[in-house]
Structure 1
Amino acid sequence: MLINKIKIYGYRVYNQFILEPNQKINLIVGANEAGKSTLMEAITLALTGRVNGRYASEELNPYWFNTIMVNDFLCKLQGGMNPPLPEIRIELFFGDRAELQQLCGAINTDVPTTACPGISMRAYPNTDYASEIDEWKKNPSHLLPVEYYVLDWRSFADEKITRRPRQLSTAVIDSRTVRSLSGVDYHLRQILGDHLDPAERAEISLAFRQMKASMSETSLSGVNDRIGGLHAALHDRPMALAMDQSARTSWESSVIPHVDNVPFSMSGQGQQAAIKISLAMSRHSGATNFVMVEEPENHLTHTSLTTLISRIRSLASNEQQLFVTTHSSFVLNRLGLDALLLVENSLQSRIPDLDPETVSYFQKLPGYDTLRMILAKKVVLVEGPSDEIIFERIFNDLHGKQPMECGIDVLSMRGLSLRRCLELCASVDKKVAALRDNDGASPEELSQAVQSWLKEGKREIFIGKVEHGETLEPQLIHHNGESSLRKILGIRADADLATWMKREKTEGAIRIASTSEDVQPPEYMVDAARFIYG
């Protein structure tokens, strides 16, 4: 096992947050500002000691601290109390692996204490600045004095860490903002470095230094003879041009990958992200234990995304832990709904024991908008576009507003299994109204087939009476009468109304939704609209 528990206290949107990730693939989804990227950032911070490729100590700022925690501190301070300044703590608990034993200890926040390999990143006030902090407290602000803080990176064995442990190799790929303007960014250098053994690195470094040194004897020789005669330096010391041999000009910053003879930095952003992901997950890169991917769908066409997701699935192994944020149902369905972690309001939930057949079902139908279903506050499931259009008209007539204005998503299943959709909604505990045609069968019989996923007041099914017609169209004819519907639809007297409505389902629904005439709704739709609204 790699990371088996994550604890975050006081970091940005997370006041107190605990997550037990999946051991292989973690698909992190949530609404905007839910904390998906912050979660990835916190994990990376604890694993590498870096944020955005820079040392955490260089990036520490007042906006790292959770606002609820800061406000609580200020309220207590203004109330005459003397509370301690807010702190940040990020803890990663690892499985009992032999290579991680040097990180093993019991210095963590678990109660009772857990002895296991682990690592923590903590930001807390530096006691050396106690007098300065007391002075700041006399006139405090929401911007905490981070200048008086210290960042402490330690193992659970209470050993201070100054650089990323070799066993915690981490690849970070943010396809939203892939930039390599200087050739190879920090994370790609790290990934490429994992593909070279120490002997190869030493050989390349030596050859690079010798190549630079040789330029002094060749191309720069004539220039140096001329400059040397200028006597520009003090005390007539000789001056010459030479290639920089310092660490900041090492071969890693000059040797860059090319794609089809084009420099990596000039490749498309989608190509850059795909290369990083493939290199990080390659089985030849056994040193990369953790792969963090932000929104792999960005900058990729559907075909390219399909190729990339297939590659991720084929490369995923039990020796790596993959964390992926996404806004794409395609990515979610393809990589498997059983890997989903839903983040919302600083809380997380996961799909418990989703039927493997249901996971496989949606993998075969990756285009269906499961993410919309998962993120909706409330869901109305209907059979097709015409049902969706009619239901929205009926809902608006009853409540004076569209379903979406009330946080209700109306989703057409477009032929998908109602049982599969209800199982998915139940797994994330959504309130659902499911509408379907009776198709000549009794509502009781049809309800029984999905009874396992229904729950009174939470998930209910609404079906039209058999005597009013098998589908939506005869139900509408029954409740409105032929003459009224002909007027609404603009159908000639000699045309068969039922046949036209069956043939022109969507067009008929649009005309009904647009009419200023009163529409008498089927009872089951009214019941569903009242249930989901209330």
Structure 2
Amino acid sequence: MSTLITKIHIRGYRIYKDFTLRPNAKLNILVGDNDAGKSTLMEAIALALNGRIAGRGVLEELNPHWFNVDLVEQFVSQRKAGQKAALPEILIELYFEDNDELQGLCGAVNTEVPTNACPGVFLRIFPNEEYQDMLDAWLKDPNPLLPVECYTYEWRSFADKELTKRPRMLSIATIDSRTVKSTAGVDYHLRQILSDHLETAEKASISLDFREVKANMTTGALAPVNKRLSTLDASLQAEPMALAMDQTSRTSWESVVTPHVDGVPFAMAGQGQQAAIKISLAMKRHSANVKIVMIEEPENHLSHTSLTTLLERIESLASDNQQLFISTHSTYVLNRLGLDALHLLNRNSVSKITELDPDTVSYFKRLPGYDTLRLVLAKRVVLVEGPSDEIIFERVFSDLFDLRPMAAGIDVVSMRGLALARCLELCAAINKPVAVMRDNDGIDPSELREPNKEWLDGAKRELFIGDVADGHTLEPQLITANTEAHLRDVLAITPAANLLVWMTREKTEGALRLASSKKVLHAPKYMKAAAEFIVNA
């Protein structure tokens, strides 16, 4: 039976001031710029599920930088202005689907309005009243470094019951392929995953055998050493001193038994190999204990071939019993696993593709090399047919606005033969401002607009096509806008050469010469219109 997260609410934690995400039931692909909050989101989920962070207690790791900077600055400003603002707090809530397995967590102790009685857990970090005198003293001259030593936390279910350890049915596996190595050889998360793959009887048997090995060391190799130490009279009362193997839990078998890969200790294996092993272990179908799997940037440390193999493994192991969260900077990962699972994060907000046609998702999956992330992450987009159009448009834009498109937050992307309607549908799904330019190829522009009109609104998305009378492709459009004599001079083409034939044959070379020339270049009307549209979109 699944225990899928239906809603995540984060308030005051790191980058998130007040953030809500309703994840997909199976696969969630998290995409965003470097400071968009992908890692923080996964960290918050793990924190609320485990009540710990990287195996350490909340209060052990708590520091002032956990608190949202904007909320802290607002609090300090209000206090210095004489207002009675409350000290900043952190709240992470996880809402789960309602099923029999989670009835013990079911209740209405959450922040949802109207009241929602459902299974869930929350972790709250707040000022400790026991230190009120210290807090009062600090509040006389507050600063952005909050006195976290005076804070405490509560970890409870929505049924208002205290949690002391992670509920068994809420198991989680975290794989961060950016930093899979650890000084301990095997990190906390891998120990947790391996532990889930061992039966209770197997763990008990290993523990007993390991205890016996340590006892044999004491009566074996250490025996002659202890005999000699007993004659030293080192203690005050002449009690014999001896060495013995530590039998406490600090030296349990989990701390010394490590996995090996092809005869090499796991920690010494390649980082890509480590990440792949951890992902596979966490997602094995027979490992029903792991309900939520979080994978950070699976593309790291992997060649294209190895990444393809890993993604195939993820797809084959994914089941209805596990919920996956995968962050990525890879277009290949995004296209391969599916745009329909995309969550576009931007600090305190998230955009979710909900209306993308399944055929469009399948279309992009078949084109894993297409740079879809450029469309997704760009603030505004100009779509062109090929490299020469891209080069010429950048020159036209720079002439019009005295800066390059990227400096204005505009990404110029070549479709390279990609279906225009698919690109427009994707841009519409994520509400992305886009200007599209294309050749008329001798066809009336109104006919070319017809198949794409449902995605065009004239305000955020528009299609720009040159008049048939001015030429069928970019090259004759440029000649019409500038005259043949002027372009021949700019391109340094001899009078004997046919200008149109040369420009058509040497598309990229001609575009580069025009882009680098200091001489005046008049833009084709449709290209100028596209530049002006996207600036104001």
Greater than 4 Å deviation, 4+ residue runs: none
- 1:255 aligned residue: 257
1:412-431 equivalences under 5 Å are 412-431=414-433
User: What per-residue deviation string (whole Å, max 9, x for no partner) do you get for residues 441-490 of structure 1?
Assistant: 11111111101111111100000111111111111122222222222222
| CA-CA distance at 1:301 after TM superposition | 1.1
Q: Hey, what does 2:397 align to over in structure 1? A: 395
Counterpart contact for 1:433–1:531, Cα < 8 Å: yes
1:231-250 matched pairs, under 5 angstroms: 231-250=233-252
- Measured after TM superposition, the shift of residue 131 of structure 1 is 2.2
Which residue of structure 1 aligns with residue 204 of structure 2? Answer: 202
By how many angstroms is 1:233 displaced? 2.3
Determine the structure 2 residue equivalent to 1:27.
29
CA contact (8 A) 2:340 2:356 kept: yes
The one of 376, 383, 405 aligned to 2:385: 383
- 1:8 paired with 2:10, answer yes
Question: CA offsets per residue over residues 93-138 of structure 1, 9 Å max, x none?
Answer: 0001222111111111111211111000000111112222222211
Match runs of 1:321-332 below 5 Å: 321-332=323-334
* Structure 1 residue 337: Cα displacement: 0.4
1:83 and 1:519 mapped to 2: Cα distance?
A: 60
Give 1:106-125 correspondences, 5 Å limit. 106-125=108-127
TM-score, normalized by length of structure 2? Answer: 0.98
* Aligned residue among 436, 442, 459 for 1:457: 459
> Identity of counterpart residues, as a percentage?
62
Structure 2: which 5+ runs fail to align?
none
Using the alignment, how far apart are the partners of 1:87 and 1:191 within structure 2?
32
Aligned AA (1:486): R
Any idea what SS the aligned residue of 2:417 has?
coil
The alpha carbon displacement at 1:92 in A equals 0.2
**Residue in structure 1 matched with residue 448 of structure 2 by the alignment:** 446
Task: Give the Å deviation of 1:432.
Answer: 0.6
Aligned to 1:295: 297
Does 348-357 or 486-495 show the bigger shift?
Answer: 486-495
1:159-170 equivalences under 5 Å are 159-170=161-172
The residue that corresponds to 2:515 in the other structure is 513
C-alpha distance in 1 between matches for 2:22 and 2:517: 52
Query: Does the 8 Å CA contact 1:438/1:465 hold for their aligned counterparts?
Result: yes
**Alpha-carbon distance in structure 1 between the residues aligned to 2:417 and 2:377:** 21
Deviation at 1:277, TM superposition (A): 0.7
Cα shift at 1:183: 2.2
Native 8 Å contact 2:54 2:189 kept in 1: no
CA–CA distance in structure 1, aligned partners of residues 83 and 526 of structure 2: 59
Give distance in 1, aligned partners of 2:312 and 2:194: 22
Task: Quote the Cα distance in structure 1 between the aligned partners of 2:400 and 2:212.
Answer: 81
The reply to whether residue 488 of structure 1 matches residue 471 of structure 2 is no
Q: Work out whether 1:273 is the aligned partner of 2:275.
A: yes
> CA offsets per residue over residues 335-368 of structure 1, 9 Å max, x none?
1000000111310110012111111111111111
Which residue of 2 is the match for residue 356 of structure 1? 358
Distance 2:474 2:43 in 1: 49
Look up the match of 2:309.
307
Aligned residue type for 1:468 = D
Give yes or no for contact 2:331–2:368 (8 Å, CA) kept in 1: yes
1:339 aligns with 2:341: yes
CA contact (8 A) 2:29 2:326 kept: yes
Deviation at 1:312, TM superposition (A): 0.9
In structure 1, C-alpha distance between the alignment counterparts of 2:31 and 2:448, rounded to whole Å: 33
**CA offsets per residue over residues 391-428 of structure 1, 9 Å max, x none?**
00011111111001100000001111111111111111
Whether the aligned pair in 2 keeps the contact of 1:264 and 1:272 (CA below 8 Å) is yes
- Measured against aligned partners, the alpha-carbon deviations of 1:241-291 in whole angstroms (never above 9, x if no partner) come to 221111111111111111111100000111111111111011121100111
1:408 partnered with 2:373: no
Aligned mates of 2:38, 2:459 — CA distance in 1: 31
Unaligned runs of 5+ residues in structure 1 are none
Moved more, 493-502 or 98-107: 493-502
Mapped pair 1:468 → 2:490: no
Check whether the contact 1:183–1:254 (CA below 8 A) recurs between aligned residues.
no
Match of 2:151 among 146, 149, 152: 149
The one-letter amino acid paired with 2:471 is G
TM-score, L = length of structure 1: 0.98
Q: Do 1:47 and 1:164's aligned partners in 2 also have CA atoms closer than 8 Å?
A: yes
Give the equivalent residue in structure 1 for 2:192: 190
User: Are 2:376 and 2:430, in contact at CA under 8 Å, matched by a contact in 1?
Assistant: yes
RMSD of Structure 2 on Structure 1 (CA):
1.2
Residue type of the alignment partner of 2:391: I
Following TM superposition, by how much is the alpha carbon of 1:512 offset from its aligned partner in structure 2, in angstroms?
0.9
- Report deviation, 1:13: 1.3
Q: Is the 8 A contact 2:9 2:21 kept in 1?
A: yes
**Cα separation, partners in 2 of 1:197 and 1:224, compared to 1, 3 Å:** same
Conserved? CA contact 2:178–2:300, under 8 Å: yes
d(CA) in 2 for partners of 1:59 and 1:181? 18
Q: Report the counterpart of residue 68 of structure 1 in structure 2.
A: 70
